[in-house]
Structure 1
Amino acid sequence: MNKNLLFSVCAVTAVSISGCTTIADMAGADSATLNVAAAQGFNKTVQEAQGNKTLDTSSSTYQRINAVFNRLKPYADQVNQTGQKFNWQLAVLKSDQVNAYVAPGGKVVFYTGIVNKLNLTDAEIAAVMGHEMIHALEEHSKNKIGAQALTDLALNVGLGYAGGNVGQLGTAAAQLGSQIGVGLPYSRSLESRADQGGLMLMARAGYNPQAAITLWEKMNKLDGASGSSFLSTHPSNSQRIDAMRKNLAAAQAIYNKR
């Protein structure tokens, strides 16, 4: 069967996510390949950020984000069922953008704006970090390739995600953000899985999961005031917060046992 036709069949029929993931594998979007491609894009992002002096490696904001990242990593590794060992890496970019995203294989990108504009606590940073780590651990980008029947698996799938901010941070960060669906909207079901998995992950690492609720309340307040790029790729509403509240008791029990 023609590959493009195979993708079209997946797009127009009610195929399960897992079935479409198989199609992604057939198209060359297997886990190992995606992780290698993401690593290359991440390295290019870091190099470009170094060149235009937007890479943050020393500020107090960076230090806080990095501390949360390192604290969550071993717990993320414990729940990694992808069959691929993750080489977790973090890039913090100096920008007023309220955003964060993850690329396959554990390449996390944080913008300082999400911490500074929202005045996030360390636990709220952990809520964002845990959410993004779950996206990577559950290979949601790979699921999207199948579910959306993407035929272009190159790194430069589009710069629309970055909009007018391309000039500020450079094209590499924008391309990594749009790479294979990483920076594009996930489905409600995948967002919900990242929310709930992130709750459990932050609790295991010793962060009070209550902070996930206050995080999204802050996001909603900002969205109502002026909007944010993070919310453009991570839909937030009262139903989402309500769903997290329903899972809060289980996460709180994990946190309380520490």
Structure 2
Amino acid sequence: MRIRRLLCCLPLLLLASCESVQTTQGGAVGVNRSQYMFSGLSSAEVDQMAAESYQQMLDEARSENLLNTDTAMLRRLRRIADELVKEVDHFRPDASQWDWEVNLIKSDALNASCMPGGKILFFTGIVDKLKLTDDEIAQIMGHEIAHALREHGREAISRAYTTQMGTQVVGALLGLGDGARQAADMAVQYGLTLPNSRSNETEADLIGLELAARAGYNPEAAVTLWQKMASASQGEPPAFLSTHPTSSGRIDNLRANIPKVRPLYEAAR
């Protein structure tokens, strides 16, 4: 009976370590989900950790003569970033004052990122291999910027902290052995963590779609971009086991939301 009462109180104990926040305004696409952040971890602390990690990646790439070697592509990326950053105040006014930075690493990887605080990194492979147009680059960059605006990194750290704390408490209460505790961790991962991660990806798609449209980039490019990504990523895992939506599901959702941002694109042209 005592264990049962403690288990009933566990969600309240975990929530007590978090606070509900609204990192961004909803925009035309209506991203309004409340987020729960660990109260002991500030945005500034996450931004500092991200800046240190970003600088380490740049230093490593520089030492291998892989940093910013394609000056034409770098200029192209920075021009697009400048246009997108002008629109971030529609979602988060303070983000216009972030120390934005864009760099390029020579690599075949189909990857790009925007770390907390506005540190953008592209790999040459995603532009070259997919033969991306400016409109498609804007969709990728807008998506990555949206992760930073929504503080998905801090949210993921908060979720990992409360998840770990919860499974440790449950394991101690129930006397679980290592194998049973590992099974509990897996259940939490696939039942809680991954669906939330997919939700974050969808939010980034929608906010990125709007940022690009406000900057004058064709929202239809979101569809062609993910069609190219799907073609280049054959054999993707099923959506249930992936932190990203399936390509078909992602494209359908973007198509459904393009009418919401098309007027913004037309006004910006």
- In the alignment, which residue of structure 1 is the partner of 2:4? none
Instruction: Determine if the alignment matches structure 1 residue 89 to structure 2 residue 101.
Output: yes
Contact 1:20 1:145 in 2 (8 A): no
Instruction: Determine if the alignment matches structure 1 residue 20 to structure 2 residue 39.
Output: no
Secondary structure of the residue aligned to 2:130 is coil
Find the aligned partners of 1:226 and 1:116 in 2 and give their Cα distance.
21
Instruction: Determine if the alignment matches structure 1 residue 245 to structure 2 residue 255.
Output: yes
Give the 5 Å matches for 1:57-68: 57-68=69-80
| Unpaired segments ≥5 residues, structure 2 | 1-9, 21-32, 165-193
Contact 2:118 2:145 in 1 (8 A): yes
Give the 5 Å matches for 1:18-97: 18=34, 20-21=36-37, 24-26=38-40, 29-81=41-93, 85-97=97-109
Contact 1:76 1:201 in 2 (8 A): yes
Shift of 1:8: 11
- In the alignment, which residue of structure 1 is the partner of 2:155? 143
Shift of 1:233: 6.3
Give the 5 Å matches for 1:208-227: 208-224=218-234
Secondary structure of the residue aligned to 1:90 is strand
Shift of 1:61: 2.3
Instruction: Determine if the alignment matches structure 1 residue 197 to structure 2 residue 207.
Output: yes
Shift of 1:145: 1.6
Find the aligned partners of 2:35 and 2:210 in 1 and give their Cα distance.
27
Aligned length: 212
Find the aligned partners of 1:145 and 1:201 in 2 and give their Cα distance.
25
Change in 2 beyond 3 A, CA 1:207/1:19: closer
User: Partner letter of residue 187 of structure 1?
Assistant: S
RMSD over aligned Cα atoms: 3.1
Larger Rg: 2
Contact 2:89 2:95 in 1 (8 A): no
Identity of aligned residues (%): 40
- In the alignment, which residue of structure 2 is the partner of 1:113? 125
TM-score (ref. length: structure 1): 0.72
- In the alignment, which residue of structure 1 is the partner of 2:3? none
| Unpaired segments ≥5 residues, structure 1 | 1-5, 153-183
What does the per-residue CA deviation read over 1:173-208, in whole Å, with 9 as the maximum and x for residues that have no partner?
Answer: xxxxxxxxxxx9971111111001001000000001
Contact 1:7 1:150 in 2 (8 A): no
Contact 1:46 1:55 in 2 (8 A): yes
